[in-house]
Chain A
Amino acid sequence: NAGVMQNPRHLVRRRGQEARLRCSPMKGHSHVYWYRQLPEEGLKFMVYLQKENIIDESGMPKERFSAEFPKEGPSILRIQQVVRGDSAAYFCASSGTDSGNTIYFGEGSWLTVV
């Protein structure tokens, strides 16, 4: 039973490039969440999606960041024109409709902007 799968695990981008992070939720899960973790800090909520719907994006920066969870395929967190401050670990989590509020996290994608 595969858990939450994220790729790439590590990504290096130059300033101004685009970063795309992918997340496949646990089998049977239809709710996806993205979190960001800066060094030495806790995780910060970014966005909550269901298939083809953004439910809550209150934690997303207003510019350059977008997320989607299409009908087919993984959820994508997209960061355009990356800056050094975007360097962080990005975690995806998922939950199912029948699992209460138990949220399971992936292993993360570490973005380094040089």
Chain B
Amino acid sequence: GESVGLHLPTLSVQEGDNSIINCAYSNSASDYFIWYKQESGKGPQFIIDIRSNMDKRQGQRVTVLLNKTVKHLSLQIAATQPGDSAVYFCAENRGSGNTGKLIFGQGTTLQVKP
């Protein structure tokens, strides 16, 4: 079926700690995955992406891990800051070429305690 889900609806972390947000997907044919950050009243903001031929990709303070065996995706945020507080969505792209038909998960709310 079509589903991309997140394991926890809310994650609360202390400022400075590392955060790990998890995501499970169901379609083994998906070949491209994206993490978005959405602040209240705003649009999704691209964080990082990964293709299915990779299992890890790093950005600035963020790392995405992809485990195709168990169809699991995670976003790691190092040294979490108050500005990281938002809802985080994983999304998968099952299209070929340039189609942007993304399947979004329900989102995990990250709360950063000062």
Interface residues of A (CB under 8 A from B): 4, 31, 33, 35, 41-45, 48, 55-56, 58-59, 91, 93, 95, 97, 100-108
Q: Is the CB of B99 within 8 A of A105?
A: no
Min CB distance A105 to B, Å, is 4
**CA separation between A44 and B91, bound complex, in Å?**
11
Cβ of B46: which chain A residues have Cβ within 8 Å of it? 102-105
| Contacts between chains A and B (CB distance < 8 A), count | 66
Instruction: List B3-20 residues whose CB lies under 8 Å from chain A.
Output: 4
With a cutoff of 8 Å between Cβ atoms, the chain A residues found around residue B93 in the complex are 101
- Decide if the interface of chain B is mainly helix, strand, loop or mixed: strand
Contact at A33–B44, with CB atoms within 8 Å? no
B25 within 8 A of A: no
Q: Is the CB of A45 within 8 A of B106?
A: no
Partner of A101, one of B32, B36, B43: B32
Q: Is the CB of A91 within 8 A of B43?
A: yes
B54 at the interface (CB under 8 A from A): no
A55 in contact with B99 given A42-B107, A101-B93 (CB within 8 Å): yes
Inter-subunit contact B43/A107 (CB<8 Å): yes
By a CB distance below 8 angstroms, the chain B residues around A100 are: 98
User: What chain A residues lie within 8 Å of B106 (beta carbons)?
Assistant: 41-42
Q: How far is the CB of B20 from chain A (nearest CB, A)?
A: 19
Contact A31 B104 (CB under 8 A): no
Task: Convert B13-40 into 0s and 1s, putting 1 for each residue whose CB lies closer than 8 angstroms to a CB of A.
Answer: 0000000000000000000101010000
Question: 14 more A-B contacts (CB under 8 A) besides A44-B104, A56-B99, A105-B44?
Answer: A41-B106, A41-B107, A42-B105, A42-B106, A43-B44, A43-B89, A43-B104, A45-B101, A45-B102, A58-B101, A101-B49, A103-B34, A104-B46, A108-B43
